Amino acid sequence: MQKDSSVTVETEDANAAGVATSREILRAKSLRKVFYSGSQEIVPLGGIDLSVERGEMIAIVGPSGTGKSTLLHLLGALDTPTSGAVYFAGNSLRTLREAELAEYRNKSVGFVWQRHHLLPDFTAAENVAMPLLAGGKAAGPALSAAGDWLAEVGLGDRATQRAAELSGGEQQRVAIARALVNNPVILLADEPTGDLDERSAENIFELMQGLHRSHHLTSILATHNLQLARRTDRVLTLEHGTLTPGVEALAGAAAGGSRAAGAGAISPGERGVTRV
């Protein structure tokens, strides 16, 4: 799949999805995912509708186990929905061949996880270069690009350090550089600050915000941190298989001592939380 920021959405799939504007880059329509545990049916996503415009930074919040990671996996084509569809630039992912899906995952989407999943015995530069090497780029240019990205995330002098020798915050910076080395248009981040102390979490979030703006990304973050979530363009709560604006449903959980405790709730009238 060719990544092209000028692509329009005037396609049969886009019309079927009800796409109304070329500013929309990502859409989930009637997205449902069902898992089975023995005879028990588990439905983390019960028919999600979501429209994401180019350049947005969205936070998805909700209790653990409600399907935030599942939603990101479906948006990034790491998993397939039980029913419904995901549209990228107006094109349904379910119509793509496996090679095209692999290209979408490798070049159009960058992933950052709570646990960085770096190869500990490889250098920071080698870890960052992995997506380029997987896409067929030669080692020399791949490592050069990796070095440029490490400099951009503040680790230009750590390129030859083994990943295991870096601090937790540094490892997450390497993971962010790896996610962006192919210059994707979408960044999906699943609890990117969840394993970090408060100061490191703040630094990582500020870095991601800066990269989001300077590289014109569209970013979707799943997070428990309501203080960070409220600094994005839009906050959505995923709970009981449903996606809703704001975080009022989480107020009780926050007061009860969840990881979001003390962060406060966002009212429906605040900027960026009034549209699903």
Global pTM value: 0.82
Q: How confident is the model over 215-240, as pLDDT tens digits?
A: 999 999 999 889 999 999 999 999 88
Contact 245, 233 (CB under 8 A): no
What pLDDT is attached to residue 195? 84
Q: What pLDDT is attached to residue 17?
A: 40
Alpha-carbon separation of residue 187 from 11, 128, 167, 180, 195 (angstroms) = 24, 15, 23, 8, 19
DSSP reduced 3-state for 16? helix
Q: Which residues in the chain come in under a pLDDT of 70? A: 1-21, 247-276
CB 237 within 8 A of CB 246: yes
pLDDT at res. 252: 46
Tell me which DSSP letter residue 6 carries: T
Write out the CATH class of domain 23-255.
alpha beta
The closest of 89, 63, 80 to 247, measured between CA atoms, is 63
pLDDT at residue 42 in the model:
87
Q: What is the pLDDT of residue 177?
A: 97
Residue 83: how many other CB atoms lie within 10 Å: 11
Report pLDDT digits (tens) over 75-117: 999 999 999 999 999 999 999 999 999 999 999 999 998 887 8
